[in-house]
Structure 1
Amino acid sequence: MNVASKTSTHKAAGQYLGYSEQEARFCYHLLVSADDAQVVMEGEDDVSVRFANGDKILEQVKSATKHNALSDWSNDLWKTIGNWIADIESGAIDLHRTQFRLYVTPSQSGEIAVSIHTTNDEQSAKELEKLVRERRDALTRQPNCNKYVEAFLGLDEKEFSEFVARVSIESVHARPEHSVENLWGPTYSKETKQRLTNYAIGLAREKANALIKSGGEGIVDANSFRKEIQLFAARLNLPNYLASVSAEPTTAAVVSVHSQRPVFVRQLEIIGIGQDQEVRAVADYLRASADKTIWAEEGDIVQSDLFDWETTLVRTFDLNRGEIEDVLSASPAEAKGRQLLRLCLRTKTKLAGQDVPDHFAPGSFHDLSDQLRIGWHPDHKSILEEGK
């Protein structure tokens, strides 16, 4: 159904690489909204856009993989409309400052839905009201959604006309991520567009979820979000740079891993590096591990590249350890370990001939530490064994 001749527009069941339709649309609005806009997930609607002047866009997101959500008497269609009307009548929504959008995927169609979408003046509003009433009254029995239809038909003429002119329906994509994928320019390859889409939706989700879990609203500034995506896209186009495709791990994930005291964290405890640095190490470890997995899955690196990378890091560790022994021979073992850690974390080397993000080498060293292939304290193995 290609009804989105106007600008395109409750919760969806399907998933795209672990992302819901709602999250894909949240990302879409972050990418296309005005610079002064804030986009909200789980706010006034599935996705809301708030503008600096007080105007809003409210979007309902529907998955229709097993039914036509836009058929004439679809409960999805009419319940959405009924809920909007109820909020208008209660004063929760200002009709005169709000645009209403229904987004359905995959592509569906319905005559009444098309008529609602294309209504934009008083005359077409009268024709729509007549169409809905005649179609409903011609049924042998009332549809299950009739109470919402009644609420729609019960609006006074002026309110009815303005409301339907503010409603748009979009159902043109086979999958919800296509609305994001279609935004990238023609200079990007198909593979790059997919990576940009995956990263952008993931970043949008992580930002909103972190805010919601902390007890706030899932509000993200559109302009600042776009700047992050533009930076990622620029890095993705660099021929000798492996851009990180993983999101920053959430505070909850970092705290959970840190509390379990894996081997690499215990190694840091032994040299007394401090809890703040331990937490930073966990975040680097998690993100580097995620990047390695994704890069390998997407064909950016192969197993031999990782073998060579780790071999280089172990060699660097050995060289740094020798230097520490020469320069700090009289220092306590813990101090030697801290300085050895600092030297290693400053390492700048390439993976498969490409530069890597700043977190990747530190995270990889912590991975080697977790495997006990390296150790910061000269007696780390015996100390770890005693601590079991």
Structure 2
Amino acid sequence: MIKNTLTDAPGQMLGYLFQIERAVFWLSELKTGGFVGIECGDDIVLKKNVNGENEIYEQDKSSISSKLPYSDLSSDLWKTLGIWLDKIKTSSIDIEDCHFFMVSNRKIPTNRLVWKFSNADNETELDICISLLREIGAKHTGKMTPIISKVLSYKDIELKELIRKIKVFDNASSKQPMFKEGIRNNMKIGKEVPFDNIYQNFIGWAFENIVDCWNSKNDAWLEVDSFISLSNRLITQYSNRPFIERTIENLPVSGKDVKSHKTENFVKQLEQIDADDDEKIMAINDYLRASSEKTRFAKEANITIQDWKQFEGNLIDRWDMIFKPTCRLSESSSDEKKGYEIYYKTLIHKEKLCGIDTEQNYTTRGAYHRLANKIIIGWHPLWKKLFI
């Protein structure tokens, strides 16, 4: 049982995160006055205004396995149909003002029944959908039988009323980007602004608001107006910065570059404290990324030589305040272990540049490696004897 829980956990977590990403997408899509609900009667519920007209009910399915969602006899398809039909029957939603979306982060095969639902444009095509639904459902004799039987107990006219309002979206079907890039396009965030940073703020803000609502035992409704205010504030914040660090995804390091730097002084310094190969490769990555950004900032950003001197001076001061007491007071049994302790105490830090917080870990860590490469600082208690 525990094994199954652990196996399912990554998929479940990605499913929750996918819901949050979809919620943020809809916040970026809706006009002021709108609301997006999470688990408020469906995975995602949209209200285009406070009165709830033109609601959208969305089921989101995220998959990391080879099993793709919304297959013809899948529980996610039949359970979703059952939920929506029940809502219509109990009049909790007005079918005339609603739309129903099935969304997947994976490509859904084009031969599946859900695409026939999505593409049905006239009465003949709707009748074909209902015939296929009943034919497929009638063949099933397994554990899904009660759910399928409940769906098929509805009249053709009731099924047709729902199917005409269903639309399916996957990661390849929409002409416009629907996920992360769609959020950027909707908010009209330019390429000069570090969208990855803003996106993470969007996701974090949505997550915190959802959890706060649930902890207060309230439905989780996110306001478009609040989201727009957050977006404007973040864009202003990043646009006014004298520098913007690129994410590590935008600063790839090749195996050739790593190999060519394995004999640098900062790597030799790590060897003296028994750092393993992974730690040395990480250090080379940080060193190369930080050096690349320092060069770019010199050309593009409003950062002076004095700013860099202040930045590195602060790093040296902090290292010195760690190095001396650790050498004297550490309970580590060897100089190598003391040096290893100094190294990690020093690198768990993000230093300000131009008085502004840096956001990428490599900026500070790479700068420390530059100083170690120049033999201005060291990790081993006897680093001066070893390298000077």
TM-score category of the 2 structures, normalised to the smaller one: 0.5 to 0.7
* 2:96 equivalent to 1:96: yes
Q: CA deviation at 1:222?
A: 0.8
Q: Which one of 11, 14, 22 corresponds to residue 13 of structure 1?
A: 11
Query: Deviation digits for residues 104-126 of structure 1, max 9, x if unmatched?
Result: 22223252011111124322210
Q: If the length of structure 1 is used for normalisation, what is the TM-score?
A: 0.55
Instruction: Tell me what 1:154 maps to.
Output: 153
State the alpha-carbon separation in 2 of the partners of residues 134 and 170 from structure 1.
24
State the alpha-carbon separation in 1 of the partners of residues 42 and 169 from structure 2.
16
Cα contact 1:39–1:219 (8 A) shared by 2: yes
Instruction: Tell me what 2:163 maps to.
Output: 164
**Which protein has the bigger helix share?**
2
Letter in 1 for 2:133: V
Letter in 1 for 2:242: N
* 2:19 equivalent to 1:22: yes
Q: The residue matched to 1:70 in structure 2 has which SS?
A: coil
Cα contact 1:12–1:22 (8 A) shared by 2: no
Instruction: Tell me what 2:228 maps to.
Output: 226
Letter in 2 for 1:180: K
Cα contact 1:30–1:221 (8 A) shared by 2: yes
State the alpha-carbon separation in 1 of the partners of residues 183 and 31 from structure 2.
15
State the alpha-carbon separation in 1 of the partners of residues 61 and 83 from structure 2.
14
Q: CA deviation at 1:15?
A: 4.5
Instruction: Tell me what 1:353 maps to.
Output: 354
State the alpha-carbon separation in 2 of the partners of residues 34 and 187 from structure 1.
17
* 2:121 equivalent to 1:114: no
Cα contact 1:65–1:105 (8 A) shared by 2: no
State the alpha-carbon separation in 1 of the partners of residues 309 and 100 from structure 2.
53
Q: 1:80 to 1:240 in 2, by over 3 A?
A: same
- Give the root-mean-square deviation of aligned CA atoms: 4.0
Q: CA deviation at 1:183?
A: 2.9
Cα contact 2:31–2:224 (8 A) shared by 1: yes
Cα contact 2:193–2:239 (8 A) shared by 1: no
State the alpha-carbon separation in 1 of the partners of residues 216 and 310 from structure 2.
39
Q: CA deviation at 1:239?
A: 4.3
Q: CA deviation at 1:38?
A: 0.9
State the alpha-carbon separation in 2 of the partners of residues 197 and 56 from structure 1.
26
State the alpha-carbon separation in 1 of the partners of residues 310 and 96 from structure 2.
59
Q: CA deviation at 1:143?
A: 4.9
Q: Which one of 36, 48, 51 corresponds to residue 51 of structure 1?
A: 48
Instruction: Tell me what 1:128 maps to.
Output: 129
Q: CA deviation at 1:352?
A: 1.4
Q: 1:157 to 1:135 in 2, by over 3 A?
A: closer
Query: Deviation digits for residues 55-78 of structure 1, max 9, x if unmatched?
Result: 321212222222221211111111
Q: 1:304 to 1:118 in 2, by over 3 A?
A: farther
Letter in 2 for 1:114: W
Q: The residue matched to 1:240 in structure 2 has which SS?
A: coil
Q: If the length of structure 2 is used for normalisation, what is the TM-score?
A: 0.55
Structure 1 residues without counterparts, runs of 5 or longer: 1-10, 246-295, 314-349, 358-388
State the alpha-carbon separation in 1 of the partners of residues 16 and 132 from structure 2.
38
* 2:78 equivalent to 1:78: yes
Instruction: Tell me what 1:277 maps to.
Output: none
Length, aligned pairs only: 255
Cα contact 1:106–1:171 (8 A) shared by 2: yes
Structure 2 residues without counterparts, runs of 5 or longer: 1-8, 248-285, 295-307, 319-350, 359-388
State the alpha-carbon separation in 1 of the partners of residues 27 and 243 from structure 2.
26
State the alpha-carbon separation in 2 of the partners of residues 68 and 94 from structure 1.
31
State the alpha-carbon separation in 2 of the partners of residues 190 and 127 from structure 1.
50
Q: The residue matched to 2:221 in structure 1 has which SS?
A: strand
State the alpha-carbon separation in 2 of the partners of residues 304 and 75 from structure 1.
62
Instruction: Tell me what 2:240 maps to.
Output: 238
Percent of aligned pairs with the same amino acid: 17
Q: CA deviation at 1:354?
A: 5.4
Q: 1:354 to 1:118 in 2, by over 3 A?
A: farther
Q: 1:230 to 1:88 in 2, by over 3 A?
A: same
Letter in 1 for 2:154: L
Cα contact 2:117–2:167 (8 A) shared by 1: yes
Q: 1:191 to 1:228 in 2, by over 3 A?
A: closer
Q: CA deviation at 1:164?
A: 0.7
Q: CA deviation at 1:307?
A: 6.3
Task: Kindly report structure 1 stretches of 4+ aligned residues shifted beyond 6 Å.
Answer: 299-307, 310-313
Q: Which one of 195, 205, 211 corresponds to residue 209 of structure 1?
A: 211
Cα contact 1:69–1:75 (8 A) shared by 2: no
State the alpha-carbon separation in 1 of the partners of residues 91 and 167 from structure 2.
21
Q: Which one of 34, 39, 42 corresponds to residue 31 of structure 2?
A: 34
Q: 1:224 to 1:173 in 2, by over 3 A?
A: farther
Letter in 1 for 2:26: H
Work out which structure has the larger RCO, using CA pairs closer than 8 Å and 6 or more positions apart in sequence: 1
Q: 1:182 to 1:55 in 2, by over 3 A?
A: closer
Letter in 2 for 1:164: I
State the alpha-carbon separation in 2 of the partners of residues 46 and 60 from structure 1.
5
State the alpha-carbon separation in 2 of the partners of residues 99 and 304 from structure 1.
59
